[in-house]
Structure 1
Amino acid sequence: MLIEPVALSDFFLSFFSAALIILLATVYAALYAWSKISGRRKFELAAWLIYAALLICVGVFSYVNHFNDYWLLLSLLMVLGYGWMPRFIWKLCAATHDADTHHSHQSGDHHD
């Protein structure tokens, strides 16, 4: 299960696409959160466009690094995780903050 090494001529492309994967995943998560906070649809659209660019970068990275079988599946799981984790985190934050508002104390309550 050895992977063919990256050609020296493709090293920059491999490095650049890996850096873009990290950057685009961060921007996607930030835009997704901002779309939820602000309620503006344009940020959600921008998040999806960034996610499309992320998919392309993962494809380029997988191709340049000669991924197949296990590594290709791992790349697919990674990009799916990048796509769904901000949604799960948002739902978790919304659920925990909703729980906080139900348990807020009225003014004048006494605590022991």
Structure 2
Amino acid sequence: MSTHGRTWMLLAALGCGLSLALPLQALPAPGPLPLPPAPETDPMSDAWITTRIRAALVPLRRDAAVDVRVNTTAGIVTLEGVVDSPLARERVLERVAAVRGVRGVEAQALRIAGAAPHP
């Protein structure tokens, strides 16, 4: 095939390609895809709550003021361990209650060092 023949074939193929692409440019841009419906209640997972509480207690642990174990079930947080003062206990309870998703706190097993345990 001659050079002229190849050039004409290339131009014809290019023309066909452009004629197919032009209608695509006229289409409107698609809108955002619909999102799946959100569940009516979006409770925080117990693991997420426990992790956030542990992170909130790091500054208190760093000062050796607390040694607290955290367990969360259905948003109810159970604390057990030892704190060095009533003030430290209050700080722990405040930080725990401030975490999103906490529905309640059970702190009966959270003892103050040197104090007699509750009967």
* Superposition TM-score, scaled by structure 2 size: 0.31
Larger relative contact order (CA 8 Å, sep ≥ 6): 1
Greater strand percent: which structure? 2
Greater helix percent: which structure? 1
* Greater gyration radius: 2
* Superposition TM-score, scaled by structure 1 size: 0.33
